[in-house]
Amino acid sequence: MSEKTYPEVRKKRGWLWFWGILIILCIIALAVIIPVYFLLIKPHQNSSSGSTASDSGTGGTSGNNGSTGGNGNGGGNGATPAPAFTGAITGGDGSTVTRDDGSTFVYTNAFGGTWYFDPSNPFVGGAQANEWTPRLNETWRWGVDQIRGVNLGGWLVTEPFIVPALYEPYQTGDFAPPYNAVDEWTLTVAMNKTGNATAMLDAHYSTFITEDDFAAIAAAGLNWVRIPIPYWAIEVYPGEPFVPHLAWQYFLKAIQWARKYGLRINMDLHTIPGSQNGWNHSGKLGPVNFLFGVMGIANAQRALAYIRTLAEFVSQPEYSQVVQYFGVVNEALVDTIGQPQMQTFYLEAYTMIRNITGLGQGNGPFIGIHDGFIGMQQWASFLQGSDRIAMDTHPYNAFNDASNAPLSSYIPSPCTGWGPALNQSMDQFGFSHAGEWSAAVNDCGKWVNGVGLGTRYEGTYPGTTTVIGSCDQWTEYGSWSPTTIQQTKEVVMASMDALQHWFFWTWKIGNSSVTGNIESPSWSYSLGLQHGWIPLDPRDAVDFCALSADVSMPSPTAGLQSWQTGGVGAGTIAADQLASFSHWPIISMNSAAGLSYLPPASVALLPQYVPTGGVITLPGPTFTTPSSTQTADAGNGWANADDTAGYYVPIVGCAYPNPWDAESATIPPTAQCQPTGVTRRGLEMDVGERAVPTPPPMIRSA
């Protein structure tokens, strides 16, 4: 409620500005002197004795220029003077921003947001998305500050329905089914057949989401982005067609842009080797090979290696203010994999990450786990007493059985259904949020169900027979009536209020190259802002449910307990949970899913990878400071130097089955494919026989 009284807050801001600017000027002077000294001058002093400490004073003085913001280029350190950076380093509504490519634009942010980027000191979290969101260098109060975010879907993990134009060229002729592009695996193969997949994906990454999108997301009153990333940002194994490494360079840009506009990042590992759900957005459509089937353990070990590399990177002080949440596995298909198997994996991943970050608020990111579509209640007691884990749920109306219920009938249901479920999970499990949801009430839209698949709504989706009507009325948003727009907006506002902490799926839907139009409009936040079905100020949704006449509000949350946000008690996991889930690697597979040919005795024989490799570290961004060829220290990619264990790698001499198609493969000879000395009951290892890990810094840099 109080959030809505912003006109009053604005008045006060007049005075705040005066003092604020004065204070900022002083801070900038200090912010310039100190980093300039340490980044530029001190290293120089070490290599030559040519400059003196007083030079830093000179630098500070000349840098103290309100309009240029003092980029600290006047160090007088004897280096050949480079062209001065002449832009400002911070500003609010109406200020001129210099993009990272050197071009400029005028920042628009009606909500008191401040951007901040100092090229001389590029890791400062001085920006604020809007006046109701803490600056990046201030504490995010979990469960108190509201996450209002969007996904950057279809960017670093492509999806046919989000970026149809990428997939449309590969559907006919040489690419007629079954050779058509249906997921990023087949897309990359197809691109590579006709051209250069690396160059084509680079063109997509560099245009689909740009710095301006981050500015626009902050301007929309949002404060977080959830960014799906693929494991192939780190590496690929032989036989995997994905373009390696390139996505990581764009994730680095995302971190810097988020930092510049005051947005926090939920980094979501969206694809897992072997596929965790068999859907197109896992990288490869087909069987599930994660914790399932003959390569299920090996693929999960490989996933742990990548989770470790990512956790090490984002827990570095240069990045931890921005990347405050790490979703370790997107939408694992728990019905297939089994819940105990997932729980065992999650405990292993949790322990590994907290071993890196340490315990308690501020030490590394929150760790997100997805409910796996079995309902949040099934996770209520999972890892009670742990340190900062979050429950992620993806409520969608779109994939329910099609009905021709009127749009208005979808307005109360988020309030009566999703809201209480989230509150209950918040009370029992801990911090809970919707990592994905959309404005769609049915599956209308090109390829929303995947390439070549129809829709439930039209009755053309395999397995459904109900013919209801034409999807055109749902996709031709240019013809939507004011009533349709208003009712869609109310569905959106009900969802925002009920979910409380949310990430809309997704910020942008690309045009179809066939129709020249956006074919799945209800999935695009930016389109909804332009056309009126997304509120320009997301705070308009506050109390939407309570104010709706036909909704009673049964279950307010008690608020998060101290241990649930990294306070007192965090990190002491309940004994029954440890007893149940500490047996990594898993000792059985989900037989309910039809794997009776893999009884526990066979699971013990499955091929594994071994923790004896050199670790992979990820590079940070490079910046050339304006007056020097010295680059700012972006970290070595590894937050915890004590984390010296080996990296999971294949065993030389083991003939592993295809890790993407091993549901019912023949189990290779155990003697060649399992680490020696590992007993298959829990974690006990015969250390004497275990291969000695190769510790960092023997680093295979991605």
* Residues of this chain that bind ligand NAG (CB under 6 A): 24, 27, 62, 65, 67-68, 86, 116, 124, 126, 135, 137-138, 159, 161, 189, 192, 196, 198-199, 202, 241, 279-281, 285, 348, 351-352, 355, 419-420, 423, 448-450, 498, 511, 516-517, 553-557
Task: Kindly tell me which of 282 and 487 has the beta carbon lying closer to ligand NAG.
Answer: 282
Q: Is 382 exposed, middle or buried (0-12, 13-18, 19+ CB in 10 A)?
A: buried
The 8-class DSSP code of residue 702 comes to: -
Residues 51, 78 contacting (CB under 8 angstroms): yes
Which structure tokens are listed for 292?
């399932």
Shortest Å, Cβ 302 to ligand NAG:
15
Task: Kindly tell me which of 61 and 108 has the beta carbon lying closer to ligand NAG.
Answer: 61
**Owner of token pair 């290599």:** 47
Shortest Å, Cβ 330 to ligand NAG:
10
Report helix, strand or coil for 539: helix
Shortest Å, Cβ 449 to ligand NAG:
5
Q: Which of 159, 235, 240, 331 is catalytic?
A: 331
Q: Is 208 exposed, middle or buried (0-12, 13-18, 19+ CB in 10 A)?
A: buried
Residues 646, 612 contacting (CB under 8 angstroms): yes
Task: Kindly tell me which of 75 and 126 has the beta carbon lying closer to ligand NAG.
Answer: 126
The 8-class DSSP code of residue 409 comes to: G
Q: Which of 159, 168, 436, 663 is catalytic?
A: 436
Task: Kindly tell me which of 222 and 440 has the beta carbon lying closer to ligand NAG.
Answer: 440
Report helix, strand or coil for 647: strand
| Distance of alpha carbon 109 from alpha carbon 297, whole angstroms | 48
Report helix, strand or coil for 434: strand
Task: Kindly tell me which of 209 and 285 has the beta carbon lying closer to ligand NAG.
Answer: 285
Helix ranges, 242-295 (H):
246-261
Residues 274, 289 contacting (CB under 8 angstroms): yes
Task: Kindly tell me which of 100 and 202 has the beta carbon lying closer to ligand NAG.
Answer: 202
The residue length of the chain stands at: 702
Task: Kindly tell me which of 351 and 670 has the beta carbon lying closer to ligand NAG.
Answer: 351
DSSP string, 89-102: SEE-TTPEEEPTTS
Which structure tokens are listed for 181?
């592009």
Q: Taking the C-alpha atoms of 230, 366, 266 and 445 in order, what is their torsion angle to the nearest 10 degrees?
A: 80
Shortest Å, Cβ 46 to ligand NAG:
27
Shortest Å, Cβ 666 to ligand NAG:
27
Beta bridge partners of 145: 142
Report helix, strand or coil for 214: helix
Shortest Å, Cβ 246 to ligand NAG:
8
| Distance of alpha carbon 232 from alpha carbon 247, whole angstroms | 8
Shortest Å, Cβ 408 to ligand NAG:
20
Shortest Å, Cβ 599 to ligand NAG:
27
Which structure tokens are listed for 324?
């405050």
| Distance of alpha carbon 22 from alpha carbon 575, whole angstroms | 54
Question: Which among 163, 253, 228, 231 has a CA at the least distance from the CA of 200?
Answer: 163
| Distance of alpha carbon 164 from alpha carbon 247, whole angstroms | 19
Shortest Å, Cβ 347 to ligand NAG:
9
Task: Kindly tell me which of 129 and 448 has the beta carbon lying closer to ligand NAG.
Answer: 448
Question: Which among 93, 116, 115 has a CA at the least distance from the CA of 106?
Answer: 93
Q: Is 582 exposed, middle or buried (0-12, 13-18, 19+ CB in 10 A)?
A: middle
Q: Which residues, in sequence order, are CB contacts of 312 under 8 Å at separation 6+? A: 356, 617, 637, 638, 639, 640, 643
Which structure tokens are listed for 691?
């291969």
Task: Kindly tell me which of 24 and 129 has the beta carbon lying closer to ligand NAG.
Answer: 24
| Distance of alpha carbon 526 from alpha carbon 147, whole angstroms | 18
Shortest Å, Cβ 162 to ligand NAG:
8
337 φ/ψ angles, rounded to the nearest 5 degrees: -75, -35
Task: Kindly tell me which of 14 and 516 has the beta carbon lying closer to ligand NAG.
Answer: 516
Pairing of strands 115-116, 90-91: antiparallel
| Distance of alpha carbon 550 from alpha carbon 412, whole angstroms | 8
Task: Kindly tell me which of 510 and 598 has the beta carbon lying closer to ligand NAG.
Answer: 510
The 8-class DSSP code of residue 501 comes to: S
Shortest Å, Cβ 668 to ligand NAG:
25
DSSP string, 607-628: ---EEEEPPP-------B-TT-
Whether 312 sits among the annotated catalytic residues: the reply is no
Q: Nearest-CB residue to ligand NAG?
A: 419
632 φ/ψ angles, rounded to the nearest 5 degrees: -65, 150
The 8-class DSSP code of residue 599 comes to: -
Shortest Å, Cβ 399 to ligand NAG:
7
576 φ/ψ angles, rounded to the nearest 5 degrees: -65, -30
Task: Kindly tell me which of 598 and 663 has the beta carbon lying closer to ligand NAG.
Answer: 663
Whether 211 sits among the annotated catalytic residues: the reply is no
Catalytic residue annotation: 331, 436
